[in-house]
Structure 1
Amino acid sequence: MNLQAAFTLIINTLEPLQGAREAANIAHILMEHLTGMSKMDRIVYKDKLLSPEQEIRLQQSIEALLKHEPIQYVIGKGWFYGLELAVNSHVLIPRPETEELVEWIVNDVKTAVKILDVGTGSGAIPLALKKELPQADVWSVDISAGALEIAAANAAQLNLAVHFEQVDILDNIASQQLPMFDIIVSNPPYIRDSEQADMEEQVVAHEPRIALFVPDHDALLFYREIGLLAKEKLTPGGKLYFEINEAFGKEVVELLQEQGFTNVVLKQDIYGKDRMVRGDKM
């Protein structure tokens, strides 16, 4: 099978499930991963044959995609803030809106700081912050050993120094062992269990539930607990940043105000959705 035939096979297989545009996007990502060739090179050398090994990997990848496995898991990598990150089913796939949270912090930081990221996943947030703020001392915690393994591997691959710890942020004793920080940031689980019915199957079936969902009866669980941690572990004048469920912007703002944070700001993402909150510790 030549390159053109392989590209066409991917599109024809996925188009009924994904639509023409997304099928083409996935086809380009998969073909570049399989061949190491750019889009232009694949056009120029469209008659070049895949090796037998490449054909096997192509078929395996298509089968995974037909089971709604995200393309990032199929190829084992995703991208965030200009960084290529290894990803697997232990970690969420980094989202573009989270890049806006990182950018907000980067724009706010004027001096050397100590930063804590809560819920590292693939390491996307702490690694992007360390890249953009090399003078910062960056720490990151997660409850998942599998996530921490991926995050540490990404840090080593990118040669970025981030201190990773396995901590259950809902365990007060464990989290109190952490040092003081100037900034605490988190993109915690915030999707209510009842929202699953409206989500894409590839997210619900393949991404880690522990990093996605909260019970309907306590949707602000992680904001409340991380807010309490921040009251103890932020230096005076320190800042707390959250990515939030768009449905709870007002509630998260009120929660932080009740906890004693000042200058609480609700920020929208590029799609006009309530997506981020920042508060200052007095």
Structure 2
Amino acid sequence: MTIQTAFAGLVAAITPLYDNREAANIAHLVMEHITGLGKLDRVFHKDSDLSAPQEAQYQQAMTALLEHRPVQHITGKSWFYGMELLVNEQVLIPRPETEELVEWILLDHPAQPAWRLLDIGTGSGCIPIALKKQWPAADMWAMDVSPSALAIATKNAGLQHTPIRFIPQDVLATDASKVLPSLNIIVSNPPYIRESERANMQEQVEAFEPSIALFVPDNDPLLFYRRIARLAKEKLEHGGKLYFEINEALGKEVVEMLEEEGFREAKLKQDMFGKDRMVRAVKK
């Protein structure tokens, strides 16, 4: 099987699951992972045969894709804010919307402050690693309840040469704030998908990404936001800022909750698709 034949076969196999462009992009990622060759090099070597181990890897990848497994779990990597990060089933795959949250923080503070920042529910570590790249003098902290997620985040921080203090901690625990210093910024992309919304999700997400990082009870969808807001009231310095990624259907509710908790200047921001996706608030 040649490189070109393998690529074409993979596109044809997964096109029923994806549109043409996405199927081609996924096939390019898989073929680069298998061959170690970029797109231009694969064009030059299109008539080269895959080795027996590469063919076996190719068949495994195709089977996984047809089972709706995300391509990032096949390659073990995902791009975020210009960085290649390690990912697996223990962490959420970083999304473009979260890049927009990082960008909002950076635009708010162009002077690269030497502040203390905490990311709650860090997963792969994508948020604090991206911010540390831009703010090398900042003191970055990151919290997650999952030891497996923290292991991935620690590896990513090492690969990106970004020192970060990772804390194994459940933010819902009553003593979650004890190990934390005073902070200038708290950021979080917490679980926010209501259980009733699970049926409408893509199978690639619902079946293969960690439920603990996705879902909240229907009867308390702001569970994590409320708890983080109260932690922020305790640990943020005067004028410190709280940034959230949110469920697009709950923007008004998050803003109202923050105002009830005593925050000021709660602002709702839309993402590139025009959906309510981020909230920023300031501690009085």
TM-score (norm 1): 0.98
> What pairs up with 1:40-189 in 2 under 5 angstroms?
40-109=40-109, 110=111, 111-189=113-191
SS of residue matched to 2:181: coil
Q: Deviations over 1:89-132 (max 9, x none)?
A: 00000000110100111112232210000001000001001011
Task: Give, as a single letter, the amino acid of the residue that structure 2 aligns with 1:279.
Answer: A
Matched letter for residue 256 of structure 2: E
The AA in structure 2 aligned to 1:29 is L
Deviation at 1:151, TM superposition (A): 0.1
Q: 1:168–1:175: 8 Å Cα contact kept in structure 2?
A: no
> What is the Cα deviation at residue 40 of structure 1?
1.4
TM-fit CA distance, 1:176: 2.8
Matched with 1:26 is 26
Q: CA deviation at 1:175?
A: 2.8
SS at match of 1:153: helix
The alpha carbon displacement at 1:174 in A equals: 3.1
- Counterpart code for 2:263: F
Deviations 1:168-216 (A, max 9, x none): 0000113333111100000000000000111101110000000000010
Report the counterpart of residue 202 of structure 2 in structure 1: 200
Could you say what secondary structure the match of 2:233 adopts? helix
Query: Counterpart of 2:250?
Result: 248
Q: Which protein is richer in helix relative to its size?
A: 1
Does the Cα contact within 8 Å between 1:122 and 1:150 map onto a contact in 2?
yes
User: 3-state SS of the aligned residue for 1:241?
Assistant: strand
Structure 1, unpaired ranges of 5+: none
Aligned amino acid, residue 248 of structure 2: E
**Identity of matched residues, %:** 60
CA contact under 8 A between 2:269 and 2:277: conserved in structure 1?
Answer: yes
Deviation at 1:19, TM superposition (A): 2.8
Which residue matches 1:281? Answer: 283
Contact conserved, 1:167 with 1:175, CA < 8 A, in 2? no
TM-fit CA distance, 1:17: 1.7
CA RMSD of aligned residues (A): 0.8
